[in-house]
Amino acid sequence: MATSDDGGFHGPSIEEFFPDAIFFAGTPFEINRIILIRFLAMLAIILIFWIGTRRMRVVPGRFQSIVEMGLDFTRVNIAEDLLGKKDGRRFLPLITTIFFVVLFANLTGIIPFLNISSNAIIGMPLVLAVVAWLAFMYAGIKKHPGAFFKNALFPPGVPKVLYIIVTPIEFVSTFVLRPITLTLRLLMNMVVGHLLLVLFFSATQFFLFTATQTSIFYGLFGVGTLAFGFVFTLFEVLVAVLQAYVFALLTTVYIQLALAEEH
């Protein structure tokens, strides 16, 4: 992609994700545009679920039905399905929080004027991944005190010699890679989604309004990139929901594995 200073095409850069501070610049409490968008997403969660559960009726209205559907999804399809009723209820607040925080933060990526997901900066994915990591360690240690790390690192039924290979692999995959993959999967999906959309729409801008001064045919490219941008916007909706589901589901699976380890 050609880049030039005067009216040329500006491709998206990684600096997109580090806008200038708006409040408290230079302090650890710096607030920039993306942090404000994160606050907005959290505010949306609180408003929707506060209003939706304020006066709950046994026979639900339309809005209450939608809120119930969302809460039932995490409760029944994720928590109770994998952990069972009892443990499902224990970890339900955590799982519900992870699912809706990721979902709402993801969705700001395609809302006009916000146009970026606050999960495209590493803070939130990392915090959630650390929480998931702590959660499954807590679940395992509480369920099998003393035996959890032994079971995780020295799986029973393996010949003792093989522990030389198995133990490092288990250690890395269980205690190192899990939070890293959780973080990076979400972060990179949101980063790439944002970069793609910026690329398509800034190209559309360039082809329709700058390049047409050279030749009218460039306008056709603009139409093409606009169509792609539209399709990828829809795709981003899917990605937003899917990544929220995957994050919550994996957290639950890790907890389940920690609870289930036997012997």
Partner 1 sequence: MLQAVLAATEGEPTNPLIPASYDIIWSAVCFIVILFFFWRLVLPRMKKLLDERSAAIEGNMEKADEAQREAEAALEQYTAQLAEARAEAAKIRETARVDAQRIGSEITAQAHTDADRTKANAQVAIEADRQAALVSLRSEVGSLAIDLASGVVGESLSDDAKATALVDRFLADLEADTSGKK
Nearer to partner 1 among residue 21 and residue 246 (C-beta): 21
As measured in angstroms, the least distance from the Cβ of 175 to partner 1 is: 19
As measured in angstroms, the least distance from the Cβ of 106 to partner 1 is: 14
Nearer to partner 1 among residue 29 and residue 209 (C-beta): 29
Nearer to partner 1 among residue 17 and residue 201 (C-beta): 17
As measured in angstroms, the least distance from the Cβ of 247 to partner 1 is: 12
What does the alpha-carbon distance between residue 148 and residue 166 come to, in Å, rounded to a whole number?
16
Give the closest residue to 197 by CA, choosing from 108, 131, 104, 122. Answer: 108
As measured in angstroms, the least distance from the Cβ of 133 to partner 1 is: 14
Nearer to partner 1 among residue 118 and residue 148 (C-beta): 118
Residues that bind partner 1 (CB under 8 A): 1, 3, 10-15, 17-18, 24, 27-31, 35, 38-39, 42, 45-46, 49-50, 53, 56, 58, 68, 71, 75, 92-94, 96-97, 100-101, 121-124, 126-128, 131, 187, 191
As measured in angstroms, the least distance from the Cβ of 263 to partner 1 is: 33
Nearer to partner 1 among residue 18 and residue 209 (C-beta): 18
What does the alpha-carbon distance between residue 43 and residue 217 come to, in Å, rounded to a whole number?
45
Nearer to partner 1 among residue 13 and residue 77 (C-beta): 13
Name residue 23's beta-bridge partners. Answer: 31
As measured in angstroms, the least distance from the Cβ of 97 to partner 1 is: 4
